[in-house]
Amino acid sequence: MPNKNNNTEENENLKKDLDETEASSECKVSDEYEEYNENESNERKDKDSDNVEDISDAKSVKNIKKENSKLKDENKKFKNELDTLKDRLARTAAEYDNFRKRTAKEKENIYTESCEDILKDILPVLDNLERAIAVDGNKDDLKKGIEMTMKQFNDALKKLDVEEIPADGEFNPHLHNAVMHIEDDNYDKNCIAEVFQKGYKRGDKVLRYSMVKVAN
């Protein structure tokens, strides 16, 4: 007959082995579950990271497109302004060229008209000189004719507001041109002693300086 104590001991050992096996299985399952959860967490983090990167890339692309559109608008604006400036420059250049040509023509006309006014008063003097040469006469008649011609010429200059520069006093470098200098007690210091060639002026404009000899 089997021993009752032995059976009891075997049952307890068997139960103990079962408990250890069960505990081992539970521990293994727990480790596997934790590993699974960890993997799931890592995958979720990776997906979240990818999503963040995708969102960031999308925002970057959107910002780049927005900036590109802004640059295009500014470029178009600057191009329009440049075209406007080019057109304005071309118009200004054309206007200046027309002004230059018009001014040159006006100056030419003014010069021609001025010469015309002068010649109208001087040509009669030439006519009288030609008549004097053609007429036969004595010395007195010739002298009288020359005097009349000189008077007519002076009248012509007077009409043109041209007057003779006085040269009977003190030397003035703004009106006279000293070509000779002498020492003579009969004259005051810096006095005009002789006129070699008369000078003329129109208003304040000197047409020709008087050529003179200056004393002391």
pLDDT digits (tens, 9 = 90+) for 170-193: 999 999 999 999 999 889 999 999
Tokens of 204: 């304040």
How confident is the model at residue 1, as a pLDDT? 45
Side chain identity, residue 196: F
How confident is the model at residue 36, as a pLDDT? 64
Side chain identity, residue 158: K
Q: Is the pLDDT of residue 84 over 90?
A: yes
Query: Which single residue is written with the structure tokens 């008549």?
Result: 131
What band does 58 get if pLDDT is binned at 50, 70 and 90? confident
How confident is the model at residue 4, as a pLDDT? 46
Q: Is the pLDDT of residue 93 over 90?
A: yes
How confident is the model at residue 2, as a pLDDT? 47
Query: Measured between alpha carbons, how far is 55 from 58 in angstroms, rounded to an integer?
Result: 5
Residue bearing the bigger pLDDT, 122 or 21 = 122
> The whole model's pTM is what?
0.50
Of 15-19, 58-62, 108-112, 210-214, where does mean pLDDT reach its minimum? 15-19
Q: 165-216 falls under which CATH superfamily?
A: Head domain of nucleotide exchange factor GrpE (2.30.22.10)
What are the residues whose beta carbons fall under 8 Å from the beta carbon of 145, sequence distance 6 or more?
128, 131, 132, 135, 137
Task: Report strand pairing: 210-215 vs 176-182.
Answer: parallel
Domains of the chain, residue spans: 165-216
In the chain, % of residues over pLDDT 90: 39
Q: What is the pLDDT of residues 137-151, one digit of tens each?
A: 788 888 888 888 889
